[in-house]
Amino acid sequence: MREDSKRFQNMFVLVNLKAYPCDPKGIAVAAREVSEESGVRIGVVPQTAHLKTVAQTGVETWAQHVSPVAQGSHTGALLAEAAADAGATGTLLNHSERRLQLAAIDDSVAAAERAGLETCICANNPDQIRAATALRPSAVAVEPPALIGGDVSVATADPGIVENAVVAANQVDTTVSVFCGAGVSTGADVQSAAELGAEGVLLASGVAKSDTPREVLRDLVAAD
C-alpha cells in the first residue's frame, strides 16, 4: 500500500451534528455501515439528548462538550460521567461555537479523562494548537472560524495553517493527534488533510445538512 493511501486509511472522520435539524440515528447507522465497508474510522457527535440513541447504533459516539466539573451541585452542566454512561467514548472541547477559558479547558480534559473519554480540543490557529497540546488531550483540531460552515476546506484555502498546526503540536507532544476542520466536505478534502499531516478531520454541515448523508460519507472515505 502506498504511504499516502495508508495515511488516508488511518484518518478519523468525526461528524459533528451540532443542532442541525437532521436524523441523528439515520446518520449514525449510515456512518457505522460506511465505516465497516471502508475500514475508515468514523465517529458521530450528536446533541447530548441523542447520545444514547446514537451510541446504540454501534457507531463511535462523541459528545459535543463536557463541563469542567465533578459530580455535585452543577445544574445545567454536562457531566463527563453522564456522557460516558450514555455511550460516548470521546468529547469535543472548546469548539468555536462553545469557547472556554484555558483553565476550564484543562478542567474539562481532566473531567473527560476521569470518565474514560477521549478528548479533542479545537483551536483557531497554530499558536492556540500549541497551547492546547500542552494540556495533553487525545487530539487537537485546527479550525479557522471564518471557514466553518463554508464550501472551501481549510486544507485547500490555507494549507499552511494545517502544516503549521501539525508542527506546533509535535513540538509539544508527538503523542497528541492533529485533526483539521472547517469546510471539509469531500474525499479530496480528507485526502488533502492527510497529505498535510493531519490524522483526522472534523466536519458538520456537509453530512448533517445533506439529503443523502450516506453518499456523502462514502465520498469522504473514498481515496483517489
The count of other CB atoms within 10 Å of the CB of residue 186 is 17
Q: Which of 143, 163, 195, 215 is catalytic?
A: 143
Q: Which of 50, 60, 65, 95 is catalytic?
A: 95
Active-site annotation holds for 97 = no
CA distances from 69 to 79, 105, 109, 110, 210 (A): 7, 11, 10, 9, 35
Q: Per DSSP, which regions of 40-176 are E strands?
A: 41-45, 60-63, 90-93, 118-123, 139-142
The C-alpha cell 504511504 sits at 3
**Grid cell digits, residue 210:** 445533506
β-pair type (118-123, 90-93):
parallel
Q: Which residues contact 85 (CB under 8 A, 6 or more apart)?
A: none
Partners of 118 in the beta sheet? 90
Are 69 and 38 within 8 A, CB to CB?
A: no
Active-site annotation holds for 143 = yes
Count, residues in the chain: 224
**Integer Cα distance of 193 and 17 in angstroms:** 21
Q: Which residues are catalytic?
A: 95, 143
